[in-house]
Structure 1
């Protein structure tokens, strides 16, 4: 997926000579968390809105160059890596440089997320469920094997949570009989953390629990 057409230049890169008061006013007009900064045509990093609010208004950006955050992506960076860079740097704007370190513009978070929504994982009809297993015990090859052995096709899967040495993997498959697949995952030692009307196992447990409660209350 070529992202070059999504490079934006609506806001010009700021300079060391810009006054802090000017940048503060610019942030008042924008929804960006950061703004890129250059010096003599060289990209130096990004200044965050949180930092700029704490600086003396009559000084220049050059006086606070230590506060610049040096994150960036290249114009040939894969889109999933771009998304990762957004998350790792807690930003909604990412400066884009070419291989010669020339500043080209920036990516905006919502534009890149919109691309993610167009992938088959979100755009195609299917069944989504969440499985859980130990971090060292699960494998994507096993997950694929379980799904395909039930004559279903995987549309996408990703690790959506890791906590207490347990990993949760969100899975989407083509529309198919999900109950058989869920039972197969249980046989392989996976917990199913999402709820499904087709899950006969959970339905039977609930029915038995209600029966036991009724019996104990006689």
Structure 2
């Protein structure tokens, strides 16, 4: 899935020689969490809205270069990896940086989540399963085989939790009749956390994500 059409190229990028006043004005006018900084037109890092409150407004960005965060993506980064970087850095904006170090724009969290919401995982009718198994014992190929052995199609699967050597996986299939699929997963020693039609589950998935609730009105 190509997300480059979501690239925002109109938002500012600071130079390391700029005054912090520019960053303060940017954060005052937007709800973004970060702004990119360059040195000699090469990406250097990001100023955070949380950090800048502790900085002196009349100083140059250069003064705080060692306080900059350094996450970014390149134009070829997949949308799933982009979402992971958003979550890992508690950001709602990510700079897109070419191999040359040039900042070509930003991805906005709202835009990337809209791409996710538009995937068949959310849009196609079907059923939802949440299963768990030992982190060393599961495989996505096995999950696909279990689903397809019951004459159903796998619409998507992703890891939703991982702790204490257990992995939790949310699965979407194209059938609301989950009984046979559930029994097959049990035969393969998966624990069934949830098995339901997707309507209420998808609402819960959208509404209860602490991270998305922080930045979006889903």
Q: Structure 1 length as normaliser, TM-score? A: 0.84
Query: Do the aligned residues in 2 keep the contact of 1:152 with 1:176 (CA within 8 Å)?
Result: no
What is the aligned length?
Answer: 197
Partner of 1:59: 59
Structure with the bigger RCO (C-alpha within 8 Å, sep 6+) is 2
Q: Give the drift of 1:176.
A: 4.3
1:70 aligns with 2:70: yes
Query: Do the aligned residues in 1 keep the contact of 2:92 with 2:109 (CA within 8 Å)?
Result: yes
Unaligned runs of 5+ in 1: 198-218
SS in 2 for 1:24: helix
Unaligned runs of 5+ in 2: 198-218
Per-residue CA deviations over 1:96-127 (Å, capped at 9, x if unaligned) read 12232222111111111111111111111110
Query: What is the aligned-residue RMSD (CA, Å)?
Result: 1.7
1: CA distance, partners of 2:28 / 2:108 = 18
SS in 1 for 2:152: coil
Are residues 26 and 47 of structure 1, via their aligned partners in 2, closer, same or farther at CA, if it must alter by over 3 Å?
same
Are residues 101 and 17 of structure 1, via their aligned partners in 2, closer, same or farther at CA, if it must alter by over 3 Å?
closer
2: CA distance, partners of 1:119 / 1:109 = 16
Partner of 1:38: 38
Partner of 1:207: none
1: CA distance, partners of 2:12 / 2:142 = 49
Are residues 66 and 144 of structure 1, via their aligned partners in 2, closer, same or farther at CA, if it must alter by over 3 Å?
same
1: CA distance, partners of 2:119 / 2:78 = 14
Per-residue CA deviations over 1:59-81 (Å, capped at 9, x if unaligned) read 11111111111222111222222
2: CA distance, partners of 1:41 / 1:83 = 26
1:121 aligns with 2:104: no
Q: Which moved more, 1:166-175 or 1:188-197?
A: 188-197
